[in-house]
Structures are given as C-alpha cells and as structure tokens.
Chain A
Amino acid sequence: MIRALGYRAVQAVMVALLVGVLTFLMMQALPGDMAFRIAAGRYGYDAVNAQAAEAVRQELGLDQPAINAFGAWFMDLLRLDFGTSVISGAPVIDEIRHQLGASLQLAGAALALSLLIGPPVGVLAGLRAGGGLDRGLLLVSTALRSVPQFLMGLILIVLVSIHLGWLPAAGYGKPAHFILPALTLALGLAAVSARITRDAMAGVAASPFYAFGRWKGLSEPQLFRRHGLRNIGVALVTFLGLQFAMLVEGVVVIEAIFGWPGIGHALVHAIFGRDVPMVQGTALLLGLGFVVLNALVDLAAHWIDPRGNTEVRT
C-alpha cells in the first residue's frame, strides 16, 4: 500500500513536469505577438490596438526570454504560487477556486445521477446474463455511447426546455439549472458504468461460490449482499477513478453549451486568450486531481477487498 502511494507521489511530480513542458512549448510556439493577444483578450476586438498592446507588454514584462518564465513558474510552483492571470489580473488560484466550485457541483451531480441509473440496471442485467434486459441494455448503452455529449445536451435542451418548457435551457444560479447539464453528463457515464457492472455481476453470478450460496439456500437479495456487492464494488470503484478524466472532458463541452461558469469554460478561454498562467494552473490542478483521486481509489479498492494485490495498476 505504501509503495502504491509512493508511486502516486512520483506520478504527481511527473504530471507537474508534463504540464510545465507542454505549456512552455505553448508559449514558445505562440503564433503572433503575445502582448497583442493578451490585449485582445482583455479589452475586446473593439479596443485592441498597438497602444493597448504596448501597455500590456510593459505591465507583464513580456520581453524576457521564455526560459526564464519557465524557471520562474516552476520555482513558484514549489512555493504553491500559481501566479496571476494575465487577462483578469487576479491570482490564478482565486480564479480557479471560484470556477472549480461550479464545475465540481456539476460533476458531483452528474456522478450521483449516473450512479443512480447505471449500476442498478447493470446488476439486474448481469444477474440474468443473456436475458431480455441484458440485450436491451447492450443496445441502449451502445446507442448512448454513440451520441456525443454535446449532441445529447442539444437534444435535451430542445426537447425538455423548448418543446416541453419544463426546465431552463441554460444558465446558472438556481437548482433547476443543474438538471439538464447533469443529466447530459450522467447518461454518458451511466451507459459505461452499467456495462461494467453488468460484466462484473455476470462474472460473479456465474462463479461456483455464487452457485454454492444458492445451493445453501440463500435468497437472491442475501446472496447479492454477501457475494455480489463486494465483487462488483472493486470493478466499479476502479472504473470511477478513470471516469474522472471522462467527466472533465464532458464538463468542458457541456459548460460551453449550458453557459456554466466552470473550469472547462475557464480553460477554453485561457487557451484562446493565451493566458499561460491560467492554463498551467488549471491543467495542473486537473492532473493532480486525477492522481489524488486514483490514490483514493487504490485505498478504497484495498479497503473493499483486502485480499487484492495492491500492486500499482499500470
């Protein structure tokens, strides 16, 4: 276990380096004049001009070689200082904290919703592998996976908001605003988690100890609680760790469509405004979040099934 956590620590450093190198390359390869780009991001296309760009250049000291900036960034990082956004002038950490909250709320709602839909359906299908429900699930989940999330969002908006008038089409601030974007994300996630649960459940249900339990006279619910739950738990928890990356990807696109003020929105803007500190900060935070989550998954899997070899999953 200790070894696994040590590995995650090394991975975290590696992620930081990777983000650093990628964003360094990004700074190097920036097509166009950085000062002009930032000025356009700050003041808009009606007000960007040579004077505004010159003011930005002075303010940010953009004349320095990029390698200095890279070194400075990495040193600051060691002191947990992410720098300030070149567009808004606010500290990156404040910007991210603000926007991360909105994203986490959305991601949390989506995850909860997907867990309500996916695994229960998967368990039922897995218990009767090859049955009607199982075939139906395969069909529906394959179809759902073939609908890109942005398309799903669009279909839901047109159907639920415009034609039925039930829910707000987009926006932020009221609980009702959560439902459509969360459902959009959740359907995609549930399609996969239902399949994973189904496979795990089918495997368990076909195993000798499950048959033995049944022979012992345990009822189906008892059987499921004793033998089924624990076994599919490991598969599901492991999968959830990986789902994080998928969720973040979904969030970037979904936020753009639903006008949600989260980290995906921030990232897209930062990349197009050439706000390198913001890109570094967000990318780093997302990467490290993934690593921490996986460390937690390692712990959880170990807790659910202590027999399991806790060797690093690679």
Chain B
Amino acid sequence: MSALATDIPVVARSGWTRTQWAGAGLLALILGFAILAPMLFPADPLRQNLRNILGTGDAASPLGYDHLGRLLTARLAAALRLSVLISAAAVVTSAILGVAVGVLAAWRGGWVDRLFALLADSFLALPGLLMVLIISAIVPTTPLAFWIGLTLVLWIEYFRLTRATVRRLIAAPGVQASRLLGFGPVYIFRRHLWPELAPMLLTVAAFGAATAIMMIAALGFVSVGMRPPTPELGLMMVELLPYYREAPHALVAPVIATFLTLLGLNLIAGGRRA
C-alpha cells in the first residue's frame, strides 16, 4: 500500500495537466452532443419507422437508423444522458456518504472508526456487479436500482481515502492549532481538510463515474440491466450486434460513444501524475 501512496506526487492543486484537459475536452464534447442533439435533431428516441430500417445518416439523424427505424442520433443522445445521469448521481451520493463517514470515523477514532472500517472492508468483499444485481432484484425501477447499487459500491473508495487523509491531517499542527483556538468542526473541515481532499476526490470521482458507466453498459449488454426499448449504451450494442455486417455504422455509434466517454474520464483520473 505504501508504495502506491508515496510515489504519487501531490501535483500543485492549482493546475490541471494537459492530459486532464484533453480528457475534459472529450467529455465536454460527449456531453455537448448528449444535451444538444435533442435540440438540433428533435425526435422521439422510441419512435419507430419501419421504412427507415438500418438506414444511413440523413438530415434528421446524421448517425442513421437502427433495426426498427428509430433515429440513432436521438437514441444515442438519450442513452448517454441516462448513463451520465445515473453515474453522476451515484458519484455524488457516494462521495457525500463516503466523505461524511470517513471524516466521522477519523475524527472520532476508537470503536466508531473500527466499526466503519470493518463495514467498508466487508462491502469491498462483495463484487460490485453482484451488489448491483442483488439491489436490482430488490428495487423494481432499474435506474433507481443502479443508483443505489452503484452508491453502495462506490462509497468505499471515498471513505478509505478520506479516513486516511483526515487521520494524518488531524495530527498536523495546523488542525491542532485551530482546535485549540476553539474553531468548530465545520471551520476545520473547510479550512484544513477540504483543500487537501478535493483534488484526490476528483480522481476517485472520475474513476467512479467510469466504473458506473461501464457497469450499466455491461449489465445492459448481458440483458440484465435496463430493459428495451429504453435507449441504453450496452443494450443498443447488443441489439445492433446481429446487424454488424448489414449496417456497421449502426453498431459503431454506441461503441465509439462509450469508448470516448470512458477515455475522457480515465484521462481526467489518470492524468494527475507529473
């Protein structure tokens, strides 16, 4: 563990590396497409037109049509919005949960600390996909199941990171001084802990979002995630796979979109090294 932690130089938190900017750019491009497509090419992503089956791009849908003559542009944009929305929601809730519990554990120490650490380790022992699958059997609406399941998977990383960092910081002179001066926990968190935590959390968040998007797509692809006819990246791929000879353009669209989204997130997460 030590080898992992020590050699990551704490890059000046003021600036992003070029790699990170590239990742952010890619992500912005994808998000831009997801948000703007419905305005530029307004259409119902569920609307079928049996005349346009597997058609190539035209003015209404530059990306072409799928096997039911639905507009791929609209479907891809809807699928991206869905994946991004679920993963963003999961990242935010898991971050809040993980940081809150992490600070609490490190701050209080003793049995509270040990209990939460044990809990986090036990959650870690269950593979994430398993967790999401079980939750999806409990919660009937699939996006909600994904949100809860992914939150339960992702919070651990925030917790471990926060706990380790806060533990170190609490012992540091700055925090000790603030405490002696009678500042409350909120002040100490904002003044001392958050600035240290924030850049690290960004990495975890980007990785977490990538994990979430991948998991939603993977479960969709093996037909246990979102249900048709909902546009979803993994589902779109599995639906269009049989047509890969007839209409390669149709299959390529969700594949490229998924790859670019994940690449953008991975560049942001991994680009922090010197």
Contact B266 A314 (CB under 8 A): no
Contact A314 B120 (CB under 8 A): yes
Contact A271 B137 (CB under 8 A): yes
* Bound Cα distance from A294 to B8, whole angstroms: 24
Is B123 in contact with chain A by the CB < 8 A criterion?
yes
A residues 117-172 with Cβ under 8 Å of B?
138, 142-143, 145-151, 154, 158
Contact A29 B3 (CB under 8 A): no
Contact B130 A267 (CB under 8 A): yes
* Bound Cα distance from A23 to B133, whole angstroms: 11
Contact A314 B163 (CB under 8 A): yes
Contact A249 B128 (CB under 8 A): yes
Contact B137 A26 (CB under 8 A): yes
* Bound Cα distance from A138 to B139, whole angstroms: 39
* Bound Cα distance from A173 to B224, whole angstroms: 26
Known: A26-B138, A150-B222, A202-B7. A283 touches B126 (CB 8 A): yes
Contact A29 B138 (CB under 8 A): yes
Contact B126 A26 (CB under 8 A): no
What residue in chain A is nearest B127 (Cβ atoms)?
A: A248
Is the interface on chain A under 10, 10 to 19, 20 to 34, or 35 or more residues? 35 or more
Is A179 in contact with chain B by the CB < 8 A criterion?
no
B residues 257-274 with Cβ under 8 Å of A?
258-259, 262-263, 265-267, 270
Known: A150-B218, A151-B237, A245-B124. A283 touches B130 (CB 8 A): yes
Contact B263 A150 (CB under 8 A): no
Chain B: residues with Cβ within 8 Å of the partner, total of 52
* Bound Cα distance from A15 to B119, whole angstroms: 9
B residues 1-33 with Cβ under 8 Å of A?
1-4, 6-8
B263 cross-chain contacts in A, Cβ below 8 A:
142-143, 146
Contact B137 A196 (CB under 8 A): no
* Bound Cα distance from A22 to B140, whole angstroms: 15
B75 cross-chain contacts in A, Cβ below 8 A:
none
A158 cross-chain contacts in B, Cβ below 8 A:
244
Is B160 in contact with chain A by the CB < 8 A criterion?
yes
Contact B3 A286 (CB under 8 A): no
Is B74 in contact with chain A by the CB < 8 A criterion?
no
Greatest chain B CB density within 10 A among A18, A138, A249 is at A249
Contact B3 A231 (CB under 8 A): yes
A147 cross-chain contacts in B, Cβ below 8 A:
259, 262
A residues 190-238 with Cβ under 8 Å of B?
195-196, 199-200, 202-203, 231-232, 234-235, 238
Is B125 in contact with chain A by the CB < 8 A criterion?
yes
Contact B4 A19 (CB under 8 A): no
**Contacting B138 at CB < 8 Å: which of A25, A238, A252, A314?**
A25
* Bound Cα distance from A36 to B252, whole angstroms: 40
> Would you call the interface of chain B mostly helix, strand, loop, or mixed?
helix
A143 cross-chain contacts in B, Cβ below 8 A:
263
* Bound Cα distance from A257 to B129, whole angstroms: 16
Is A300 in contact with chain B by the CB < 8 A criterion?
no
**Contacting B129 at CB < 8 Å: which of A30, A31, A231, A252?**
A252
B117 cross-chain contacts in A, Cβ below 8 A:
312, 314
Is A82 in contact with chain B by the CB < 8 A criterion?
no
B224 cross-chain contacts in A, Cβ below 8 A:
268, 271-272
Contact B221 A253 (CB under 8 A): yes
A283 cross-chain contacts in B, Cβ below 8 A:
126, 130, 134
Greatest chain B CB density within 10 A among A245, A286, A312 is at A245
A245 cross-chain contacts in B, Cβ below 8 A:
124-125, 127-128
Greatest chain B CB density within 10 A among A25, A239, A314 is at A314
**Contacting A253 at CB < 8 Å: which of B129, B136, B255, B258?**
B129
A199 cross-chain contacts in B, Cβ below 8 A:
3-4, 7-8
Q: A70 to nearest B CB, angstroms? A: 14
Is A174 in contact with chain B by the CB < 8 A criterion?
no
B210 cross-chain contacts in A, Cβ below 8 A:
145-146
* Bound Cα distance from A147 to B218, whole angstroms: 11
Contact B4 A274 (CB under 8 A): no
* Bound Cα distance from A287 to B122, whole angstroms: 8
Contact B134 A151 (CB under 8 A): no
A314 cross-chain contacts in B, Cβ below 8 A:
117, 120-121, 160, 163
Q: Can you list 14 pairs linking A and B with CB atoms under 8 Å apart?
A: A10-B118, A145-B210, A146-B259, A147-B262, A150-B234, A203-B7, A235-B4, A248-B130, A249-B130, A252-B222, A257-B222, A271-B136, A287-B122, A314-B117
- Residues in chain B within 8 A of chain A (CB atoms): 1-4, 6-8, 117-131, 133-134, 136-140, 160, 163, 210, 214-215, 217-218, 221-222, 224, 234, 237, 241, 244, 255, 258-259, 262-263, 265-267, 270
- Residues in chain A within 8 A of chain B (CB atoms): 7, 10-11, 14-15, 17-19, 22-23, 25-26, 28-31, 138, 142-143, 145-151, 154, 158, 195-196, 199-200, 202-203, 231-232, 234-235, 238-239, 245, 248-249, 252-253, 256-257, 267-268, 271-272, 274, 279, 283, 286-288, 290-291, 294, 308, 312-314
